[in-house]
Structure 1
Amino acid sequence: MNNPQDDQNPQESGGNPPIVNLPPTVTALIIFLVLLHLSANLILSEESFYRFLLTFGFAPLRLQFAPEMPGGVGALFWTPFTHGFLHADWMHLIFNVLWLAVFGTPIARRYGPFGFAVVFGLGLVGGVIGYLLVHYNSVAILIGASGAVSALMGGALRFMYQPLIKEVDKETGEVRILGRRLATPSELLKDQRAVGFTAVWMGVNVLFGVFPQLMGMEGANVAWEAHISGFVAGFFAVAWLERRLF
């Protein structure tokens, strides 16, 4: 059984707690996403911004080697990753940043910068695969960190509902918190909180795609397929990290 370190309480370690208690990796990524979107909106014209999205967003049409797509063949290799750093508007960005802070924090604290990058990156690729399976012939462009954020969510689900593992020092009697054990899929199926959270989240995403009118938006505006496939990628990625890093 692995006993990775869990979140530390800043008040227990002495001193004043920081105003923003996020891991440096998560903080740096949020700052980068905000600055990138701000710069693109300040510097680029509307036409240039759209071309910017075409160049670095993922478009299924690229697989047909469409000559009108900027970036050429090389874009097939970078857009499965770069699309996750682009956002259509500020609301899109803010929504992803908030969920990134919530679910990226436990992943970064448990697995460190490398593990965080692995889950984030696999979420981006997983999101592209899910989107591609549904929109193979589509001209729509996939952008946004939603697939990666969903992967962080799927990874965090594996341990966020598990009880804390504690150890008592035989000499001092001090109780130390070691972390939370990673649950197996079969164990999560027996946890009503984990099942309920997953069912609601999956259900909302399916509604986005099947009944977009009920959700008050066009179905193409929400890449629900990327959310679900990214979630699955993160769910299984953390098991590999657990074996490799601990």
Structure 2
Amino acid sequence: MLIIPAENAVNWKRPPWVTLGLIMTCLLVFLFYQGGDSRLLDRAVEQYLDDGLLELEAPVYEDYLSREIRLQGRSDRVYDLQAFQQAREGGEPFWLAVSLLSDPEFYQYMTDNRDLLLAPAQRADWLARRVPIQEELIGRLSAFRFGLVPARLDVYTLVTYQFLHGGWGHIIGNLLFLFLLGYTVEKALGPGRFLLAYLVCGVLSGLVYTGFSLGSQVPLVGASGSISGLMGMYVAIYGLRKIRFFYFIGFYFNYFRAPALALLPVWLGKEIYDYWFAGATGIAYMAHAGGLLAGAGLVWLLGKSWFQVRESFFEPDESALDDRFTTGYAQAMGSLERMEFELARHQFEALRQHYPGRLIVLEHLYQLARLRPDLPRFRELARELMAEAANHHQPERMVAVWQEYLAEGESFTPLEAEDHNRVLFASLRHNDLKAAEKAFERLRQLGNDVLTSEACRLLASEFDKRQMSGRARYYQQLMQA
């Protein structure tokens, strides 16, 4: 079962740059730094097999796993023992060597008990062969150099482990969740505080994991603790507000709405339950639990200082925005009907400030500005409306506004060469050659040689395509003049 919050959509006009930067950093580390791990491991396996260490260690390893299960109650090792025994029976030396070399706890066990496990003649030979493999090859693997190892906790690894991953499935899953959660939390906190919160959650998650894994030689890698922190922050930011969640069970998925904080104990309980009962999955459940608590705790404890949510984050939902717009729009239209044009202009300006994407508001402001074509405001709004029409793929409206302005405002405040050039391009795309030629004449009068030359070339090409050789030749001659 999977449940994730899905309350916000990404606003690509204000991209979540820090979230995208974290994703890119993890990818680059995985591709260019961790990409060398496979070569190191291959060399270690080759040397391990050539030195005959498999025949020496395999029986000891099988006995070690059995002791871990019987005496230490390590039920998570049952699968390891069964897989190892099957590999020995199937004669898979490479896989066996990888299993032995990838188990740092077994190496530590061998090192601590070599006097009991090995005959005197074998000890010096084992040390001479095994230690260089461990230190010069295995020890240089990314997980052992910069992963979080509870038995020898280095402070810097509390940060570096967050950017390492164990494989393609691991990194793709983590980065997907980082994106889904990160853009909302980054929007709430702002880029700087979001980055700090992300790293702090990873550090605290790593400390919780270390506390439950004291003495373990197995390195922890991955961003899942930090991402769990984002989940905790996400629901703490919304508190008891009802938000939308996406859930996935088997092959069925859907959405539901619930108070945000209601999901925190559900997530936390699942991680703790899995820690005790899920068995050997290779998933750091307590790191996830620590991240959830760390993220929620940071917002609750420091939500009015270091990690204060931006006031602009809690925007009204779409239905509330529509109701407000409808009310304001009706008031402005009422002023128009009463011919109170100045009041209507102020009301539409206020609407545009709060609802900049509503093209109809810009249309009304433009029509009001036409009442005073001698003022610069008319040209400003005409240019804005032409640009919006182009963005909304409405070339006919763009040309119509341009023609209106030429008739009413051009004599007071002329348009610029770039404005006529944009109309020319839009007209050509819409196959309105008459408007395109008119725009060209206006452009030509302004003396911009670069734009005029390019426009000549385009018009000559368009007329040539339509086999209108006379007009094509005319523009070719202008190019050469």
The RMSD of aligned alpha carbons is 2.8
1:181-214 deviations in Å (ceiling 9; x for gaps): xxxxxxxxxx95335422332233123312224x
Q: Report which of the two structures shows the higher radius of gyration computed on alpha carbons.
A: 2
Equivalent AA in structure 2 for residue 206 of structure 1: I
Q: Distance in 2 between matches of 1:222 and 1:113?
A: 29
1:231 matched residue in structure 2: 292
Hey, what's the Cα distance between the residues in 1 that align with 2:35 and 2:232? 35
What is the Cα deviation at residue 129 of structure 1? 1.5
Match of 1:31 in 2: 24
Going from structure 1 to structure 2, the CA distance change for 1:138 and 1:158 (only over 3 Å counts) comes to same
Unaligned residue ranges in structure 1 (runs of 5+): 1-5, 11-16, 64-75, 165-190
Q: Which residue of 2 aligns with 1:58?
A: 148
| Divergent runs of 4+, >6 A | 6-9
- Alignment correspondent of 2:199: 121
Query: Which one-letter code corresponds to 2:23 in the other structure?
Result: I
| DSSP 3-state at the match of 1:242 | coil
Stretches of structure 2 that go unaligned for 5 or more consecutive residues are 1-6, 42-136, 243-256, 311-481
> Equivalent residue of 1:243, what SS?
coil
Q: Is the 8 A contact 2:34 2:142 kept in 1?
A: no
Which structure has the higher relative contact order (CA within 8 Å, separation 6+)? 1
Matches within 5 A, 1:34-53: 34-44=27-37, 45-47=39-41, 51-53=141-143
Which whole-Å CA distance do the structure 2 matches of 1:155 and 1:94 have between them?
A: 22
Look up the match of 1:173.
Answer: none
Contact 1:81–1:124 (CA<8 Å) still a contact in 2? yes
Residue aligning to 2:265: 199
* Deviation by residue 1:130-160 (Cα, 9 ceiling, x = unmatched): 1111101111111111111111111110233
Q: How does 1:143-222 map to 2 (within 5 A)?
A: 143-160=221-238, 193-213=259-279, 218-219=280-281, 221-222=282-283
Following the alignment from structure 1 to structure 2, what is the Cα–Cα distance between the partners of residues 197 and 22?
A: 27
The SS at the match of 1:135 is coil
1:79-118 to structure 2, matched below 5 A, reads: 79-118=157-196
**Is the aligned partner of 1:243 residue 2:309?**
no
Higher helix share: 2
Task: Give the 3-state SS of the residue equivalent to 2:191 in structure 1.
Answer: helix
For the residues of structure 2 that align with 1:140 and 1:88, how far apart are their CA atoms? 13
Q: What is the percent sequence identity of the aligned residues?
A: 26
Checking the alignment, whether the CA contact within 8 Å between 2:148 and 2:206 is kept in structure 1 is yes
Match of 2:155, SS state, is helix
> In structure 2, how many angstroms separate the alpha carbons of the residues matched to 1:9 and 1:130?
32
AA partner of residue 38 (structure 1): L
TM-score by length of 1: 0.68
- The amino acid across from 1:242 in the alignment is K
Q: 1:106 to 1:195 in 2, by over 3 A?
A: closer
Q: What amino acid is aligned across from residue 142 of structure 2 in structure 1?
A: F
- Give the whole-Å Cα distance in 1 for the aligned partners of 2:167 and 2:24: 16
Q: CA deviation at 1:241?
A: 4.5
User: What's the counterpart of residue 352 of structure 2?
Assistant: none
Report SS of the residue matched to 2:278: coil
Opposite residue 151 of structure 2, the aligned amino acid is: L
Letter in 1 for 2:189: Y
Q: What code does the residue aligned with 1:23 have?
A: P
Cα distance, 1:228 vs structure 2: 0.8
Question: Matches of 1:96 and 1:129 in 2, distance apart?
Answer: 20
**Secondary structure in 2 matching 1:199:** helix
Amino acid in the other structure paired with 2:297: F
- Corresponding residue SS for 1:93: helix
Structure-2 change in CA distance of 1:85 and 1:8 (3 Å): closer
Q: CA deviation at 1:242?
A: 3.4
The separation in 2 between residues aligned to 1:125 and 1:9, in whole angstroms, is 27
